[in-house]
Amino acid sequence: MKDTIIFVQDSSRHFFQLSEEEAISYLTRIEEDHIVPDYENVLKKGFTGLLQEVKELMDQLDMAIPSDLSKMTFYRACKIVLEGCLNYVTRCRDMIREKLSICSDRQRISELEKMEKRCSALLEHAPETFAEALQFIWFIHVMP
């Protein structure tokens, strides 16, 4: 059985299921709209690691130094964005849990449990599996 990857469209609250091979093919065709994430960095750190890094950078700033004031503004914005990313993943996980509570199909339950597990993992740490990495990249693409 192919591993299922979760793809969520917020407007319709619809889950799209693709195999890993289909997901790779799809992701290579996504238009990037002038944003090219540093995938190596974000995949190594995940949302939580990036958020921790931003907090550490903020702690190192000296507000008596004028240049650090503009850095603080930037880091605050990064913190807000990363917290929003974690909130989005949390909402997706919660939506999966809702679907699990009403689902009666064994195969679908298994798929939803895998989706929920991946979302929960991404809330705690950087992607550790290929499926988590694909899910993480998808989240990056669907969040404006």
* pLDDT of 135 over the 60 cut: yes
d(CA 55, CA 44): 17
Closest CA to 53 of 85, 70, 75: 75
Residue 144: its pLDDT value, please?
Answer: 61
Could you give the percent of the chain with pLDDT greater than 90?
58
Residue 53: its pLDDT value, please?
Answer: 94
Confidence of residue 101 (pLDDT cuts 50, 70, 90): very high
**Domain extents for the chain?**
5-142
Residue with tokens 């992607």: 127
Read off the pLDDT of residues 3-36 as tens digits, 9 standing for 90 and up. 555 554 444 445 555 566 666 555 555 555 555 6
Residue 112: its pLDDT value, please?
Answer: 92
110 and 99 in contact (C-beta within 8 Å)?
no
Confidence of residue 128 (pLDDT cuts 50, 70, 90): very high
Q: What is the DSSP letter of 55?
A: H
Alpha carbon distance, N-terminus to C-terminus of the chain = 33
The two three-digit tokens of residue 10, written as one number: 């917020």
Cβ count near 60 (within 10 Å): 10
Please, which residues have CB within 8 angstroms of residue 5's CB and are 6 or more apart in sequence?
Answer: 17, 18, 19, 20, 23, 131, 134, 135, 138
Confidence of residue 117 (pLDDT cuts 50, 70, 90): very high
Q: What is the DSSP letter of 14?
A: E
Q: Which residues pair with 16 in a beta bridge?
A: 7
Q: Is 11 exposed, middle or buried (0-12, 13-18, 19+ CB in 10 A)?
A: exposed
